[in-house]
Every structure is written in C-alpha cells, then in structure tokens.
Copies of this chain bind each other. A is one copy, B any other.
Amino acid sequence: MYSIGIDIGGTNTDMGLVRNDGTIIARSTIPTNAYTELQPYIHDIMDCIAKLMKDNNVEKIEGIGIGAPNGNFYTGCVDNAPNLTIKGVLNFEQEMHKYMDVPVVLSNDANAAAYGEMVYGGAKDLDNFIMFTLGTGVGSGIVLDGKLVHGSTGGAGELGHCILVPNGRQCSCGRKGCLETYTSARGIVQTYCEQLRENGKPIPENIDSKAIGDLANQGDPIALKTWEIVANQLGLAMANSVTFSAPQAIFLMGGPTKVGDPLLKPLQKAFDKYLLNIFAGSCQIRMSQLKANEVAILGAAALIKMKK
C-alpha cells in the first residue's frame, strides 16, 4: 500500500509517494510562494500527485497526509498560517476531495514528525512519548495511547512555548522566556554570545549553532559551557513534561541535537536531576531515527494511519 506525504513550507511544497514500509519512492516539489489563491495551488498539487502515481504504476493510495504550519487535524484546514502567501483559513480536505476521494489528514510539522517516528522511525515500540524538535523554533508532538494529542483546539503540543524563565528572553510569540528562546538554534547562538561577552571575548560574525557544536567537539570551553546551559534548560523542560503524561521516552530531532555528547551528556544529567522521583528510570531520552531530509514527508504520510 502507498500514501502521499506533503510538507508545506513557506517557500516550497514537497510531496512524496511513500510505501507502507517507510520508503519514499518518488518526490515532487512546487513553490508555495508562487500562489496567492488556494484553488490553483491545490490543482497543481493534485497534478503532481497524479503524476507521481502514474510514473510509479501506483493506482491507489491510502490517503494524503499533510504537515503544515497551523494545520488543523480536526477541520482539515490550514488556519491563517503567517508564513504562507495564501491567506485565510484554507480547507485543504474539501479542495482535495474534488480531485480524489481518499482520506486527507492535516497536522502541524512537529506533530507529524512525532507521528512519523512512531509509524516509520524509532518509536515503533512505543505508544506514549514526546518529541522535541529543535531548529529555527522549538516544536513538540505528544503521543499518548498511540494517538497524537491535538487538544480541544487542534493546537496542543506547543511545549516550545512553555515559559521557562518568567520575564526572560523576548519570544517571537510576543511573550517572554519561552523554551524556544533558549534552545532553538538562535537561542543557542544567543547563549554562546552571552558567554563570549562574559569572558571578554569578541563576538564572531555569522556564527551558527552548527559552528558552536563543532567548536564544542573540538574542546572549546566556552562552546562546551554553552551546550551545558542549553542542556540544563532543555532537561528541565523535558522533566516538567514528564509530570504531564509520564511518557516512555522523549525523542529529540533537529540540527542542534546533532552536536552529540556536548549536548547529550549534560542533558541526561539535567534530566535525571530535574525528574520527579516517581518517574525515575521510566523515561528514556532517544534520538529520532528518521533522516533529516525524509522526516517531513514521512511524518505527513504517517498522519493518515491515525483514526480521527
């Protein structure tokens, strides 16, 4: 059996034909920002899907899963996503059903990543876990009893916007001190610059979290200290999340998590320190087993495995 996974970003819309074993058979891309209306955009997406199927001799698909900013699981719509050039509440499910009568399921990208981990990745043995995605922002997806937690609004699982430090760093959400402001790629750079300043060192131009990771792995003490601070903050947020749903594991995904030991060693230590004693030993820290260039499409495709 096959399905289609679609990853909608502000710049590109990536589509993939996915086989049930988690292999992406073929891909296709159109520029999201070339569209200002939903109908022609969906028309071109459905053209790509038809072509992907025809080229690969696939006559039937199980459904279409979509990971999108503000993708709403309950309504099948994308609700006023700020980074899309097509504005408003966009009913993907309804528009796509004009072309093809298969299930269409939407969620946001972090939720899709979490569900993809369960269907195709390193969480196949679990039905209760939390995924933290570290990147430009910090996202999260929560799986409980084998189902994604969408909450009453469809917008649940926004742990990147837990306030970690009241009156802390300014967040793009308008509030202050969100986890995202400390453990996103930008938050990590900010902490590194603070550490440089505290140590009377010059601030380099165009430094990014990857470079800070490389420096840490070369033994640079300020870079190492930076990752320790980040690990302490992330470990606290992770331990707090355990008090909510007592997951079997917390997964990590995204560029900054690739640094390895400089993050992971102090992270395990901080997590153990902050974890409530009744949960000791019950929750592992695991790395995502999906490839960075496949997770968005696989996560989206996985969504159709979930019953509404």
Contact = CB atoms under 8 A, between A and B. Distances in A.
A144 B155 contact: no
A173 B246 contact: no
Contacts of A245: 142, 149, 151, 156, 244
A277 interface: yes
A137 interface: no
A140 to B, nearest CB: 8
A150 B244 CA distance: 9
A147 to B, nearest CB: 8
Interface string A141-154: 01010000111111
A239 B176 CA distance: 13
Question: What's the dominant secondary structure at chain A's contact region?
Answer: loop
Interface in A22-54: none
A219 to B, nearest CB: 28
Contacts of A276: 158, 161, 173, 175
Contacts of A149: 144, 244-245
Contact of A243 (B159, B239, B283): B159
- Report the contact-size class of chain A (Cβ under 8 Å from the partner): 35 or more
A241 interface: yes
B155 A246 contact: yes
A240 interface: yes
A99 interface: no
A155 B128 CA distance: 13
Given A144-B149, A236-B163, A239-B163, A279 B155 contact: yes
A184 to B, nearest CB: 15
Interface string A128-140: 1000000000000
Given A156-B243, A159-B244, 17 more contacts: A128-B152, A142-B245, A144-B149, A149-B244, A150-B246, A151-B245, A152-B247, A152-B283, A153-B246, A155-B246, A156-B245, A158-B276, A161-B243, A162-B240, A163-B239, A175-B274, A175-B276
25 contacts: A128-B151, A128-B152, A144-B149, A150-B246, A152-B246, A152-B248, A152-B283, A153-B279, A153-B282, A155-B278, A155-B279, A156-B243, A156-B246, A158-B243, A158-B278, A159-B243, A159-B244, A161-B276, A163-B239, A163-B274, A166-B236, A166-B274, A173-B277, A175-B276, A244-B244
